[in-house]
Amino acid sequence: DKLQSAALKAYLRHRRGFDIDQMCLAFIGYEGSEHHVATQRRAVGKLLKRHGGLCVGSGPGVLYDQKKFDIPYIRDFLLDRGAAGDVSETATTWSDLQTLYDAVITAAQAAFAQLRVMGYVMCHLSHSYHAGACLYFTFAFKASRDMLAEYEVVKAAIQQAFVDNGATLSHHHAVGTEHAEWLEEDISPPGVVMLNALFDGTDPGRHLNPGKIV
């Protein structure tokens, strides 16, 4: 596997002229009838050719499918070694995507600097739509004192960057107690009033998942 990976990188760098550090990898799946899938594949092939992309086959997708549920356990590995890590995800329009990305990276790095810890923040585009996309950020840092307190500083910086730049508070992880303090900034004060009215009418005793939304 290492030899194959090295050979592919050498080909991309020397024969195709790609900058490995600036590349991105997209996992593309197809659904539908045999005819529909074939049509989709042809359309994607034309786009790749037009923009100088390269199809590397199904191998990366198959490997991701096998390993994707192993990733959360990395957090346990980090915790055992004095490091903290988590994810934050959001969504915005295509026109605001780059601005949002830059703002979140800057906010996370500023939080690391404030805490005087070594940290990393990464991002991938996990869902895309005609109007916009979901940016999924993963961050980790070497804790120095109170891990939970330091984690909350970094997490808050990222979440605040979301709402400050007009992005959603969350894309699919939902609100919950951890994100509740930003809900009003996300959906506006009238939006919170509407949610409370909905709960007043359907669950006045607040028995269903109390305190997890409003």
Catalytic one of 73, 101, 129, 136: 136
Phi, psi of 203, deg, nearest 5? -145, 65
Alpha-carbon distance 61 to 110, whole Å?
34
Please state at what angle helix 97-115 crosses helix 147-164, rounded to 10 degrees. 150
Q: Is 136 a catalytic residue?
A: yes
4 exposure class (CB count in 10 Å sphere: 0-12, 13-18, 19+): exposed
Tokens found for residue 210 = 């109390």
Residue with tokens 């605040």: 160
Alpha-carbon distance 141 to 83, whole Å?
6
Query: Residues in the chain, how many?
Result: 214
Q: Identify the helix (H) or strand (E) that includes residue 39.
A: helix 34-50
Residues carrying an active site annotation = 136
